[in-house]
């Protein structure tokens, strides 16, 4: 096929272009992976707990850190029609002393979430070990296992108090992009009192709710907000997507990704338009000796497919290589994200080649007689 022969003759040109496309593909994929990691780090704990409705204090404005509820709120929420079970959730940031294997203990800021076992709010993404069964046990983030939060590790408040033993690990269930510990609610209350010995009571941060079977969580959330004063109830999905800062992060990355997709489209389009213009005499001669336009267009599409396919493969390879190491923000490559992005780029690549195809279709074989370089008349 002419397309393959041309690629072989101009290996350097097409290799450099495929490399450029690969770098652009890598940029797009990396931005998507980074966005996913940021969102999971911010709100993964909200998404991966068993309560399908979360109740905030009205003044919190959907901010977990700013929510405080009177203990009586739990019973009030449980009494709302459509609620099968309700339980308190506590959340706080504590300075924890943790010792990574082979290293001296260090103090790190960690999020601690207190939940009532077997009730709404229980973590659902346990990938190793088990849930806490008693005070003094905790589930930690698998992403932070190498930092002293691995299975079997013992951690402790910098302020003292009883230690916590990690008996399980969660996957992508961090909060506020920090190491996250899930502990029984009674342990959470004990940690609060250790930090603030003068506290007379420990108030829940949220109330986690499980609606009755067949009841729409959004309907239950509206009913709770209307029935229980000074509260705002959100579905689990709303709590994650409407958390402060999430919308701004999504908008920023959407703009960057939109520009990246536009650049890829323009680069591919310009490359093949220039290539077609440079080959115009040869294409005219081929048309003159009987090559149909469809044959020339198919050769162009084959080149687009090979170059873009090579670029996508290179970009995916670079992405996998760059996300293997750990870090403060672990990056995970989602096959679905890669597949959707690759398909979108392929569609845009063929669409961007439309101008080059139109130029080929407009070639008039009779123009050969007006080209002295092709043996025609001046």
Q: DSSP 3-state assignment of 81? A: coil
Q: Which residues contact residue 357 at a Cβ distance below 8 angstroms, ignoring those fewer than 6 apart?
A: 297, 300, 301
CA–CA distance from 149 to each of 94, 141, 167, 168, 289 (Å)?
14, 7, 10, 10, 73
User: By C-alpha distance, which of 47, 44, 78, 73 is closest to 205?
Assistant: 73
Query: Is this prediction's pTM over 0.85?
Result: no
Q: Are 158 and 36 in contact (CB under 8 A)?
A: no
Q: What is the mean pLDDT of each run of 10 residues along the chain (378 residues)?
A: 77 90 94 89 92 95 93 95 96 88 81 95 94 93 89 89 92 90 94 87 94 94 95 95 89 92 92 87 79 86 92 93 72 87 93 89 70 50
What pLDDT score was predicted for residue 330? 73
Listed in sequence order, the DSSP H helices in 323-334 are none
Residue located via tokens 């959707």:
340
Give the domain ranges of the chain: 2-42+246-374, 48-235
Cβ burial 11-23 (10 Å sphere, 16+ → b, else e): eeebeebbebbbe
What pLDDT score was predicted for residue 164? 93
User: By C-alpha distance, which of 179, 175, 177 is closest to 206?
Assistant: 175
Q: How far apart are CA 338 and CA 342, in angstroms?
A: 6
Listed in sequence order, the DSSP H helices in the chain are 2-9, 11-47, 72-78, 185-195, 217-227, 236-241, 246-278, 280-288, 293-322, 335-352, 354-361
For residue 213, how far is the Cα from the chain centroid?
30
CB count in 10 Å sphere of residue 327: 9
For residue 65, how far is the Cα from the chain centroid?
22
pLDDT digits (tens, 9 = 90+) for 188-245: 999 999 988 887 889 999 999 999 999 999 999 999 999 999 999 999 999 999 998 8
DSSP state of 49: B
């Amino acid at each position: 096929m002419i397309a393959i022969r041309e690629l072989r003759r101009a290996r350097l040109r097409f290799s450099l272009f495929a490399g450029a496309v690969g770098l652009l593909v890598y940029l797009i994929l990396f931005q998507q992976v980074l966005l996913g990691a940021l969102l999971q780090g911010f709100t993964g704990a909200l998404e991966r707990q068993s309560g399908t409705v979360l109740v905030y204090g009205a003044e919190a404005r959907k901010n977990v850190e700013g929510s405080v509820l009177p203990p009586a709120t739990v019973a009030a929420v449980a009494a709302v029609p459509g609620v099968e079970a309700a339980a308190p959730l506590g959340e706080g940031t504590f300075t924890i002393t943790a010792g990574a294997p082979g290293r001296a203990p260090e103090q790190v800021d960690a999020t601690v979430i207190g939940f009532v076992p077997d009730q709404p709010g229980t973590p659902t993404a346990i990938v190793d070990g088990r849930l806490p069964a008693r005070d003094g046990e905790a589930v930690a983030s698998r992403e932070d296992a190498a930092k002293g939060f691995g299975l079997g590790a013992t951690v402790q408040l910098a302020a003292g108090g009883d230690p916590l033993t990690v008996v399980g690990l969660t996957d992508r269930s961090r909060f506020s992009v920090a190491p996250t510990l899930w502990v029984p609610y009674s342990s959470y209350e004990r940690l609060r009192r250790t930090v603030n010995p003068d506290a007379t009571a420990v108030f829940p941060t949220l109330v986690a709710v499980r609606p009755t079977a067949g009841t729409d969580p959004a309907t239950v959330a509206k009913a709770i907000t209307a029935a229980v004063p000074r509260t705002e109830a959100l579905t689990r999905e709303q709590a994650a997507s409407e958390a402060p800062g999430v919308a701004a992060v999504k908008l920023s990355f959407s703009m960057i990704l939109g520009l990246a997709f536009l650049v890829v489209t323009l680069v591919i389009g310009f490359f093949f338009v220039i290539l077609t213009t440079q080959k115009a005499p040869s294409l005219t001669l081929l048309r003159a000796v009987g090559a149909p336009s469809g044959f020339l267009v198919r050769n162009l599409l084959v080149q687009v497919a090979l170059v873009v396919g090579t670029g996508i493969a290179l970009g995916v390879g670079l992405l996998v290589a760059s996300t293997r190491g750990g870090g403060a923000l672990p990056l995970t490559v989602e096959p679905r994200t890669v597949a959707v992005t690759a398909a979108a780029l392929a569609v845009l690549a063929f669409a961007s080649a439309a101008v080059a195809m139109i130029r080929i279709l407009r070639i008039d074989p009779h123009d050969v007689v007006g080209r002295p370089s092709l043996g025609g008349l001046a």
